Amino acid sequence: MGGCRPLGFLLGLPFGLIALVLSVVGCVIWVLGSVVSIVCPCCCCVAGLANLAMFLIKLPVKTMKWFTDQIPC
């Protein structure tokens, strides 16, 4: 582990770009959820939206890491 795996990076790049778009969607959901939680703090569904948004924001990094781990040196 810790070695350079350019083939895994290149294979995962298209999927990483798709995940990046989903990450932007996650940022928008997170901002909207924050606004809703400020307006109505008793809304319990906002916590679920925040968890979904954080998952989407972290998705590009997880995707690229998974692809680079799949390719042996």
Opening angle at CA 41, ends 45 and 59, nearest 5: 45
Distance CA 18, CA 59 (A): 10
In a domain, 25, yes or no: yes
Band of pLDDT at residue 3, cut at 50, 70 and 90: low
Single pTM value for the model: 0.62
- Predicted pLDDT at 73: 61
Q: 6-39 and 45-70 are packed helices; what angle lies between their axes, rounded to 10 degrees?
A: 170
In a domain, 29, yes or no: yes
**Six token digits for residue 52:** 């979904």
Give me the domain span that covers residue 31. 16-70
pLDDT exceeds 50 at position 19? yes
Residue 6 in domain: no
In a domain, 8, yes or no: no
Question: What pLDDT, on the 0 to 100 scale, is given for residue 62?
Answer: 83
Per-residue pLDDT reduced to its tens digit, 36-73: 777 776 766 677 777 888 888 888 888 878 877 777 66
State the total domains in the chain. 1
